[in-house]
């Protein structure tokens, strides 16, 4: 066989079977083999679209052995489509390692975009989308989860998590303890019959999901830290100082007055004009 092997990364629906691109359907028909996270699950999708391509299982527990086998087939010139149970393979799903090994062996990797729970939840959250980070699943052990949330306390970007229904309340409660009052969008069963996007503050979310026990698949989109919160976690030496003293402190550390006013406003999360007015007014009164 002298044709070139190709690894196609195919996005599949996260619920609604209509959310699949024409190109993904064509590639799933044309490839020699589909490597699926769960062949029983993917068989339903293939049956719906009358696709009869052979499948093998490529999942977390056989990824070493099956990964080697797939690489050999790719190196021999086969075309292989990788799919997960839902959404983009490689995103909180198997795929990352196979892609990296294929690149290492000089095998072309072709991504076919499509559904993804994180981005679908983000765009409907109402929270800033210009800058965000994806954290996947929080650790399941309470201590590790709280440490992770502490680590993210100063994160300014919108933060996206996947969460299992039986851990939702614990995670939300830890977020309230560590992050306090922030906006959150809880996206449940996206693209499915019981799709719901709940929006409110973290404490309200705890109250809501205490009363309505969480069922289905959840993606959480949480507002990043506000400016004041970030500075609190980095430099608290100004706490207790007046605005004027705070500006003076930064000037003593080498900033000119304009820079110091800007930085005071940033650290306290207040308008620059407020700092400026107070500092200028005070110096006017002294002169």
13 near ligand SAM, judged by CB under 6 A: no
Complex with ligand SAM: residue 5 or 114, whichever CB lies closer: 114
Angle at 108 (CA atoms; ends 107, 111), nearest 5 degrees: 135
Looking only at residues 211 through 240 of this chain, which bind ligand SAM when binding is defined by CB under 6 A? 217-219
Class of residue 285 by CB neighbours under 10 A (exposed 0-12, middle 13-18, buried 19+): exposed
Binding track, positions 106-135, relative to ligand SAM; x by CB under 6 A? ----------xxx-----------------
Of the CA atoms within 13 Å of residue 61, those in its CB half-sphere come to 1
Complex with ligand SAM: residue 32 or 163, whichever CB lies closer: 163
- Please identify, among the stretches 72-80, 102-110, 161-169, 259-267, the one whose residues bind ligand SAM according to the rule CB under 6 A: 161-169
Residue 99: name the closest of 81, 114, 119, 125 by CA: 81
Gyration radius (Cα) of the chain, Å: 25
How far is the CA of 207 from the CAs of 200, 204, 210, in angstroms? 11, 5, 5
Q: Residue of minimal CB distance from ligand SAM?
A: 87
173 near ligand SAM, judged by CB under 6 A: no
Q: 86, 122, 176, 275: which one contacts ligand SAM (CB under 6 A)?
A: 86
Complex with ligand SAM: residue 71 or 122, whichever CB lies closer: 122
What's the CA dihedral at 100, 104, 108, 114 to 10 degrees?
A: 10
Complex with ligand SAM: residue 142 or 164, whichever CB lies closer: 164
Q: What are the residues binding ligand SAM (CB under 6 A)?
A: 14-15, 84, 86-88, 91-93, 116-118, 162-164, 187, 189-192, 217-219
């Amino acid at each position: 066989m002298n044709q070139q092997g190709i690894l196609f990364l195919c996005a599949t629906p996260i619920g609604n079977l209509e959310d699949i691109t024409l190109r993904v359907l064509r590639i799933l028909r044309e490839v020699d083999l589909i490597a699926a996270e769960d062949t029983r699950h993917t068989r339903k999708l293939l049956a719906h679209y009358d696709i009869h391509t052979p499948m093998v299982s490529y999942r977390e527990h056989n990824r070493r052995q099956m990964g080697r086998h797939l690489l050999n087939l790719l190196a021999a010139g086969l075309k292989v489509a990788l799919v997960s149970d839902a959404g983009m393979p490689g995103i909180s799903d198997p795929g990352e390692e196979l892609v990296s090994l294929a690149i290492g062996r000089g095998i072309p990797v072709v991504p076919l975009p499509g559904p993804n729970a994180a981005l679908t939840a983000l765009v409907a959250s109402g929270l800033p989308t210009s800058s965000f980070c994806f954290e996947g699943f929080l650790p399941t052990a309470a201590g590790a989860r709280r440490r992770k949330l502490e680590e993210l306390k100063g994160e300014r970007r919108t933060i996206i998590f996947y969460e299992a229904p039986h851990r939702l309340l614990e995670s939300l409660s830890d977020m309230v303890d560590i992050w306090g009052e922030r906006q959150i969008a809880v996206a449940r069963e996206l693209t499915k019959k019981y799709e719901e996007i709940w929006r409110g503050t973290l404490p309200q979310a705890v109250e809501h999901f205490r009363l309505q026990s969480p069922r289905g698949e959840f993606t959480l989109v949480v507002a990043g830290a506000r400016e004041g919160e970030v500075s609190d976690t980095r430099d608290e030496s100004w706490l207790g100082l007046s605005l004027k003293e705070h500006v003076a402190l930064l000037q003593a550390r080498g900033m000119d007055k304009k820079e110091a006013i800007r930085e005071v406003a940033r650290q306290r999360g207040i308008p620059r004009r407020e700092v400026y007015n107070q500092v200028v007014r005070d110096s006017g009164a002294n002169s």
